[in-house]
Every structure is written in C-alpha cells, then in structure tokens.
Amino acid sequence: MAYWLMKSEPDEVSIDDAMAAPVPWFGVRNYQARNFMRDQMKVGDGVLFYHSSCAEPGIAGIAEVVSTAYPDHTQFDPASHYFDPKSTPETPRWMMVDVKGVRKTRLLSLTEMRRHAALSTMVVLQKGSRLSITPVTSQEWQSVLALLES
C-alpha cells in the first residue's frame, strides 16, 4: 500500500463531499501529479485529504483511492476551466482517480505540521512545493495519524 497527500480547494471538492460519496479527482494539470495517479496509485492506497487555498490550509481527513486511473472528462469539455484542446478521447493527456473519504478529522494545519520534526521531509512542507498530489512515506503517514489522535 502506498500513501498520498492530495490537495483540493474545499469549495471545489471537500472532505465532506468525499465522505458522502466517492469523488473524481479531476482537473489535475501537472504531468508529475498525473503520472502519480496513472502509474503508481492503486485501489486501497491511503490519502491525506488536504484543503488548500482556503483560510486555514491543512489535512482535513483520511481517504482512500477507490478506482484505477481513467481519463479526466473535463479535458474534453470546451466549457470547462480544465479544457485541453490538445487532448482527444483517443489520446487523452489527463487522468483522474476516484477518492472516498474514510473519516473526517480535526484540521491538522500547515502551521502545526511544520512544528513536528517527524514531518519535516513531507513534500508539502518543502519550499516551493506546489504539486496537488505528493507521495507520503509510511513513517510520515503514521506520524500524521498519531498527531490526529492527540
């Protein structure tokens, strides 16, 4: 099993949405993040569901990957903010997976995360890190779970 941190703006897709039903992780337009979904994510992988671009960013819940990667439909829709005119149904450029909430947690803020040495290697905490999907080590996963229980 692998672990991931996946960022979403809560007004687009929130942990509450993921708790209600599996949500498609659409709109990823970074090749490295796309490759994580396409090449490495597996059904059952753990997800730290992170709220970004909001008043207090941070981990808002635990989720899991519930589908393999498939083409992101928004790339084909000219009315979508995520439309990609170079992508076709025959040769899609962008992929997505479905994510289902496992449990909503207290917010583990970015500020609080920075205070814990055990999390210092997390990609999300590195200067200049802007990826919406990043791998999380087993040690980082366990440390976050311990913090959420404290």
Residue 58 falls within a domain, yes or no?
yes
Q: What is the pLDDT of residue 11?
A: 93
Q: What is the pLDDT of residue 3?
A: 98
d(CA 51, CA 101): 13
Mean pLDDT by 10 residues, the chain (150 residues): 96 96 96 97 98 94 98 97 96 97 96 94 88 95 94
- Domain count of the fold of the chain: 1
Residue 148 falls within a domain, yes or no?
no
- Enter the pTM of the model: 0.94
Look-up of token digits 């990826």: 131
Residue 26 falls within a domain, yes or no?
yes
**Which class for 17: exposed (0-12), middle (13-18), buried (19 or more C-beta within 10 A)?**
middle
Residue 97 falls within a domain, yes or no?
yes
Residue 90 falls within a domain, yes or no?
yes
Q: What is the pLDDT of residue 130?
A: 83
